[in-house]
Protein backbone atom coordinates (compact mmCIF):
# COMPACT_ATOMS: atom_id res chain seq x y z
CA UNK A 1 0.00 0.00 0.00
CA UNK A 2 1.54 3.30 -1.03
CA UNK A 3 1.30 6.61 0.81
CA UNK A 4 -1.48 8.04 -1.37
CA UNK A 5 -3.72 5.06 -0.64
CA UNK A 6 -3.07 5.43 3.09
CA UNK A 7 -4.00 9.11 3.01
CA UNK A 8 -7.14 8.31 1.00
CA UNK A 9 -8.13 5.82 3.67
CA UNK A 10 -8.05 8.53 6.38
CA UNK A 11 -9.75 11.31 4.39
CA UNK A 12 -13.23 10.77 5.89
CA UNK A 13 -11.68 11.50 9.30
CA UNK A 14 -9.23 14.22 8.26
CA UNK A 15 -11.56 16.46 6.23
CA UNK A 16 -14.08 17.13 9.05
CA UNK A 17 -11.21 17.64 11.50
CA UNK A 18 -9.58 20.15 9.15
CA UNK A 19 -12.90 21.98 8.65
CA UNK A 20 -13.50 22.11 12.41
CA UNK A 21 -10.02 23.52 12.95
CA UNK A 22 -10.48 26.12 10.22
CA UNK A 23 -13.91 27.25 11.45
CA UNK A 24 -12.76 27.49 15.08
CA UNK A 25 -9.69 29.49 14.08
CA UNK A 26 -11.71 31.93 11.94
CA UNK A 27 -14.32 32.48 14.65
CA UNK A 28 -11.62 32.96 17.30
CA UNK A 29 -9.65 35.45 15.18
CA UNK A 30 -12.80 37.45 14.43
CA UNK A 31 -13.68 37.50 18.13
CA UNK A 32 -10.15 38.56 19.11
CA UNK A 33 -10.14 41.41 16.58
CA UNK A 34 -13.58 42.71 17.65
CA UNK A 35 -13.11 42.58 21.42
CA UNK A 36 -10.50 44.09 23.67
CA UNK A 37 -11.12 42.32 27.00
CA UNK A 38 -9.24 39.09 27.75
CA UNK A 39 -8.81 37.18 30.98
CA UNK A 40 -5.13 36.55 30.29
CA UNK A 41 -2.73 38.10 27.79
CA UNK A 42 -3.44 40.63 25.08
CA UNK A 43 -4.63 40.73 21.47
CA UNK A 44 -1.26 39.86 19.88
CA UNK A 45 -0.65 36.99 22.30
CA UNK A 46 -4.02 35.37 21.52
CA UNK A 47 -3.70 35.87 17.78
CA UNK A 48 -0.38 34.02 17.83
CA UNK A 49 -1.80 31.21 19.99
CA UNK A 50 -4.89 30.80 17.80
CA UNK A 51 -3.10 30.96 14.45
CA UNK A 52 -0.14 28.75 15.31
CA UNK A 53 -1.85 26.54 17.90
CA UNK A 54 -3.89 24.69 15.27
CA UNK A 55 -6.87 22.96 16.92
CA UNK A 56 -5.74 23.53 20.52
CA UNK A 57 -5.21 27.31 20.16
CA UNK A 58 -8.82 28.31 19.46
CA UNK A 59 -10.10 25.91 22.10
CA UNK A 60 -7.74 27.43 24.68
CA UNK A 61 -8.87 30.91 23.71
CA UNK A 62 -12.55 30.11 24.17
CA UNK A 63 -11.94 28.24 27.45
CA UNK A 64 -9.47 30.51 29.27
CA UNK A 65 -8.73 33.61 27.20
CA UNK A 66 -12.09 35.02 26.22
CA UNK A 67 -13.07 37.79 28.58
CA UNK A 68 -16.51 38.81 29.67
CA UNK A 69 -18.30 40.94 27.11
CB 36 within 8 A of CB 47: no
Q: What is the mean pLDDT of each run of 10 residues along the chain (69 residues)?
A: 84 92 95 88 92 91 82
Q: For residue 3, what pLDDT is reported?
A: 84
Q: Is 35 helix (H, G, I), strand (E, B) or coil?
A: coil
Counted residue by residue, the chain has a size of: 69
Q: For residue 32, what pLDDT is reported?
A: 92
Q: Is 53 helix (H, G, I), strand (E, B) or coil?
A: coil
Amino acid sequence: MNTFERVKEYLPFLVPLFLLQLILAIVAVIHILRHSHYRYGNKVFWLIIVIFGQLVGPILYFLIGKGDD
